[in-house]
Amino acid sequence: MRARITILPGDGIGVDVTREAVACLETIAEKFGHEFDFKTQLIGGVALDRLGVPLPDETLEVCLSSDAVLLGAVGAPQYDNNPPKLKPETGLLGLRAGLGVFANLRPAFLHEPLVDASPLKAEIIRGTDLLIVRELAGGAYFGRPREVTDEYGLNTMAYTAPEVERVARVAFEIARGRRKKVTSIDKANVLESSQLWRKVVTRVAADYPEIMLEHGYVDSCAMALVMRPTSYDVIVTENLFGDILSDEAAVLTGSLGMLPSASIGGKVDLYEPVHGSAPDIAGKGIANPLGAIASAALLLRYTCKLEREAKVLEDAIGKVLNEGYGTPDLKSQPKQITTSEMGEIVRRYV
Ligand code: NAD
Ligand code: IPM
Ligand code: MN
């Protein structure tokens, strides 16, 4: 098959991990006889430096005319005090909005060799295999009005029923192919937007009688996630809660560097690791590229419908970990290697 894929390395370790993910896609293309046309574009801090905006028009246009987008990460400390319009993160939010993606799938799967890479007890995390479906187009991230002065900051968290319904349907559909359980996470004891959320999710659940639905509050979920992670299958939640819970879920898998994501439901799908640009390790060549590589596998599965190829790439990740290889964030792995070595070994197993 042929696919046009836009590559957005972005900032910091985004560059290092994306390079390895693209190389893995090239290996898959070669081995299975596919043709991927890659186009690299600017986003985030590098776009600010070169063009003065975090999301250049050309970047969005190229993304919209491609079949999928693979992004590394955006952000760096030198932009942290920029006005909102000139922040790298605003570029990423603009990209998500421009593509129209509204469901962000963040699977957290613990590879058995990494049980000791996590600070959590092995008996608690063993068997972790959950999927966070994070609403990506609404909530506090996109609420209007928004404002900041020296004395005042304003954001609003608002949801409409259709916004909740469409992401809930994604969660229930995916749960059908998994362990048939959906946990909807909200703060309905306090927030009106969550009261709507709970009502709509309950209504959607009626169309999926074979799926078990439970509701939970986000504060209690933050605790339960690290106490009984194996009790979760699919978690569906609003934008900000999903952002926070997914970084927490990363700890269950050994490292934030392990988590991939797929953002779907819009005009063009977007794939990115869950982690950020990691300024503390940027430029050192030691970032874990497996979240980015696993994101490329999701691209093969969801956009290209290449299930076998996706599985080959995911299995290669599993084998590399079984062999004891790991970047420094995976301290328990006996064979410590760099970002590019990790990419190379994954490709060898492919
Ligand atoms: P971060 O995810 O960049 O890093 C958090 C910690 O995890 C750091 O100690 C980092 O070294 C480690 N880490 C992250 N990814 C890793 C990997 N692949 N391998 C090994 N270690 C890894 O979060 P932060 O430090 O809070 O944010 C840094 C910048 O990234 C900020 O500007 C933030 O806005 C941005 N950010 C961007 C995205 C994105 O582009 N999707 C996501 C999160 C944060
Ligand atoms: C993520 C990041 C982004 C988010 C930021 C960088 C805009 O934290 O992808 O998880 O909050 O969605
Ligand atoms: Mn985040």
243 lines ligand 2 (CB under 6 A): yes
Any bridge partners for residue 134, and if so which? 104, 237
- Taking CA atoms only, the protein residue closest to ligand 2 atom 11 is 243
Q: Report pLDDT for 233.
A: 99
Q: Over the stretch 291-320, which tens digit does the pLDDT of each residue have? A: 999 999 999 999 999 999 999 999 999 999
> Is the domain defined by 119-253 classed in CATH 3.40.718.10?
yes
The closest ligand to the CA of 287 turns out to be 1
Nearest to 48 by CA among 97, 96, 92: 92
How would you classify residue 254: left for phi > 0, otherwise alpha for psi between -120 and 50, otherwise beta? left
Q: How far is the CA of 138 from the centre of ligand 1 (A)?
A: 22
313 lines ligand 1 (CB under 6 A): no
By the 8 A CB rule, do 135 and 143 touch?
A: no
89 lines ligand 1 (CB under 6 A): yes
Which residues in the chain come in under a pLDDT of 50?
none
Nearest to 131 by CA among 93, 77, 174: 174
Q: Report pLDDT for 6.
A: 99
Helices 339-349, 307-322: crossing angle, 10 deg rounding: 120
Q: Which tokens is 166 given?
A: 């469409």
Q: Report pLDDT for 299.
A: 98
What's the mean pLDDT when you consider all of the chain? 98
**Predicted model pTM:** 0.98
Query: Do the two domains 1-109+255-350 and 119-253 of this chain adopt the same fold?
Result: yes
Q: Report pLDDT for 178.
A: 98
Closest ligand 1 atom to residue 275 Cα is 2
Identify the H or E element spanning 36.
strand 35-40
Domain 1-109+255-350 CATH class label:
alpha beta
Pocket-testing residue among 55, 92, 142, ligand 2, by greatest number of atoms within 8 A of Cβ: 92
Q: Give catalytic residue positions.
A: 141, 187, 219, 243, 247
Domain limits of the chain? 1-109+255-350, 119-253
Bridging pattern class, strands 129-135 and 325-326 = unpaired
Q: Over the stretch 56-111, which tens digit does the pLDDT of each residue have? A: 999 999 999 999 999 999 999 999 999 999 999 999 999 999 999 999 999 999 99
C-alpha to C-alpha distances, 195 to 134, 158, 185, 189, 192, nearest whole angstrom: 17, 11, 11, 8, 5
